[in-house]
Structure 1
Amino acid sequence: MAKFKLRFVLITLFFCTVVFSQEHYKEDLFHAEIMKKAEAFKSNTFFYKAASFFIEKEWNSTLVNSMKLLDTSKENITLTDYAHYFRGYSFKQKKMFKEAQNEFELISKAFEFYYLVTARLGQIALEQNRFEEAIPYFQALKELSEEDSFYFEKSATLNNLGLCYLHLGDFKKAAPYLSESVELKEQQKDTLEIINAYINVANLYYEQYQDDLAIPYFEKAYQLSKKIKDFNVKRRSTLNMAVVEENRKDFVKSLAYRKEYEKWKDSLNDQNKIWEVAKLEKEFAVKEKQKEVGLLQAENKAKIIERNGLLYSAVVLLFLLGISIYFYKEKAKVNKIIVAQKEDLDALNATKDKLFSVVSHDLRSSVNALKSSNTKLLGHLEAKNLEQLDSLLHTNSGIVNGAYNLLDNLLHWALLQTKQSYFEIASLRLFFIVEQTAYNYKPLMQEKNIQFDNSVLKSEVVFADQESLKIVLRNLLDNAIKFSKPNGSIKIYTRSTTDAFCDLVIEDSGLGMSEITRLELLKETGMLSKKEHEDVIGTGLGLQLCKSMIKINKGEFSIESELEKGAKMIVSLPKTT
């Protein structure tokens, strides 16, 4: 009976979380298609706003604007279908499944993404444990070709079908779907999805008491979880192993896994305190070194007094003099080491203080600007001045985006400093990485009427870590927009100067920089508190982060620029041979 209970806990733990990992769309490309449609109907304000809020995942605002769209565009079937899709998806994200299902069922089959509607209805049934109702939806998706279901992964459909049959106890039908899902996810090299797929297959075998088949999958999921940053997945994989070992009566291993589980659980709580802990550790280290210096100074004084007391005896003097000289040299060496360590600590502390000072100044400036803008916003709201309201809302959005980018850079900088970042070097097509990254900045470029051109060849393939490369591109593109004048232009293209490296160039027609600033930015410790242009003050943390991540990717960074003649930020990455 005890063994049965442990199995039940294990399987229940996973099934409670798995349905939320099945959302595996090519999200950025899908959002790009939605924005193209929004641009085509830009004259319809409600549709444009509903699409924008949908992409930004502002579900309440999406619901409000899509309802206004339905009230004003009942004759346009295309816009009506999009409105119902936006509303259905928003309700689903808010866990209002009944309302979500009603909205999806109102969409006509002529909707160009109707297969996504089928997928959503299947997911709603699956999340509500209506497994028999979910199966026909996923079967219909399974019959579609990849071309007809471009924005939905086949592996997710197979995985969901396997889960439905697994919940219904039909293990024979569940097995081929889950096995094929594992194969597809391994081909896609999505570590998080592979872990979930392994645990699904493991539970399939574990439910049938086929421990010899199940346990290797639990172990592979546990080993892979060490390579990702998601503490929840680490926690689930570790707890699964603890229960497995407990069932195998290996209580020592089970206890070790339980302790690791508690560690990941604590890590979730401690993650937001990383800066406070780092600051306290540095302060403590400085105080300890100061204590050591004071203690050594006291010891030196005692030695000098002792040596002077022994000068009255000539024979003893010669002996003690030699001993004193020896100890003096040793202490001098120790003092030099301590002084050098103290200087290093002081430099680190000064850098930390400067960083915190500049960051806090920027955040305070952003908050003050937001506070002032909100005061004006309330005034215009009372006066119902819609034009000014729209302008202030865009201003607030820009302020918040700037503060968010600063905090995001700060977090990634902290992860680099504490060596918690995970990098997976793989072959990447630059065009699609640039396209996905630039998509999120198009609204900012439109505000300044900046012309953007992605001329990266689709055939260009480099070796790099995808996530860190996106962070580099986001920072460089953000800087290009920030320093560009209205009606300017930004170009991203590649050029080949050697056979081993591919140069990715982010060129803007903005303010540029002096030769002194250019050389300063290229230094390893180039943390600037301000630049030539007083209206674009910043920490320089983003560029430092870029340089660190480019270096980890075994690449090189350079700048070509002149004042008032724009700038070229050049990222050189190893080519795929």
Structure 2
Amino acid sequence: MNYFEIAIQKKARTLKDEINFNKAQSFFIKKEWDSTLVYSMKQLNSNADAEVKEYCHYFRGYSLREKELYKQASIEFGLIKKSFQYYYLVDNSIGLLFYYEKKFENAIAHYLMAENEILNHKDENEIATLYENIGICYLHLNQYTRAESYFKKDAILNPKRVTQGVVRSNINIANFYYEQYKDQKAIYYFEKAYSLSKNIKDFKLKENTAYNLAVVEENRKNYKKALTYRKESEDWKDSLNNQNKIWAVADFEKKFAVAQKQKQIKVLEVENKLKDNQRNSLFFAAIGLLLILTGGVYMYGQKVKNAKTILLQKNKLDELNATKDQLFSIVSHDLRSSVNALKTSNAKLSATLETKNYDELHQLIIQNSTIANGAYSLLDNLLHWAMLQTKQLYFHKESIHLYSIVQQIEYNYKPLLLDKAITFENSVSKNIFIFVDLDSLKIVLRNLLDNAIKFSNENGKISFYTQESNPDFCDLIIKDNGIGMSENTIKELLQEGELLAKKSNSEIIGTGLGLQLCKQMIRKNSGTLVIESEQNKGTKMILTFPKTIV
């Protein structure tokens, strides 16, 4: 924890009554940016004093920057006055925003304004990061002498053990030499950074070092090695994206194992009760005939009670087994198709690699990525569906700013939208807050946007907008101009009897599980779903959610 995080914790303790500020700073320290944005906005909407507002604008600017919403981050930082106690952190952040915009001279100016205060706090990691950023800016400006000076300062602060800073320092020095066409020295530091990255757990740095060596080998025209490094770089990128999902699966398996142990304990408790009752029966039998009769009646009642308990446990176990069998059926049917497609594509990939047909090789790599993403989406939906069916999914309803969430979903799907040249329009009212569970709302919007992209043509258009037909509810409409669907298909999708719905378009692989998951989560959020569509004219998904009660 750095000195600023310690400072905002102290500030929060003096403002115990400001619940939204306390939550905002807590989520800021935990790096949960969405929740930070929600609660800092709630605090700004309340009657907060000027200093608290400065903190909230900084929380929001920093969070938006981390979410790569740079324009919105710049607006938030611009609302902070220079009299703010920690304005040097604002300068440092604005410098980083200018760096992202490739306005390196502006970035350096703000970094230098923040330098004295950062040096005063004697945080070596923060100082090293500052020197690294200034050095990179000078490198982009081809001012090599100044760049070298700051890279050396950064290197001096590096610890003897292998850390992320050490690896980045070697990458920066390599780029410094590479820009000056001193390839041999540059390659030495690229290879050193790659070797050192084996000892750290930062997937992003591992991806970067492997990618750098791929570029080096391509320039050497050693395409076989270059392809190997590029594959390793992509593997680290996939590992970074999948890490959170792996943790979720591990947590689910852990909870399931605990539940199984609890069932075993309950069975043992029932057995012990039966044994105790039997011993009590023998004891009362020695007293007399009347006590024996009384004991027999008592035993009969206990057996009936135990039998009911066992029957309830059996029914619950049968239900869980049915759910498990259904999941296995989906996995065996749908994943087999994806894996078989991936296997066939990989065989073509190997053959194409031998012929060095790079255009076809590029298309096959894109095809593999599409198949893998489809299988990943299926597994993601299966995980949430299973957690929902087994009542493991946690729901916490709160006031959500709908426009911001749609903006986040658009950002997540930007690559897919660009790939099909689809225009995305976010016309959601900025004044609407709905009362739902945030995580389940994101799952619903991701699935529906994914379907809209999948069933849209090249150069299509997808729109998100709201309408208010009821003062207590909000209608969110997701509209596309894609291939649409028939009335029979709509009825089939909205049926509750079956888990999976068949799609009439056989060229697009799908299970219908995503829409079934959406329907259940919408229902749990007290919402409704209506589908309007015509073939070859597009589709409207109309979601209705309760508004936040002011």
Q: TM-score by structure 1 length?
A: 0.46
Higher relative contact order (CA 8 A, sep 6+): 1
Q: TM-score by structure 2 length?
A: 0.48
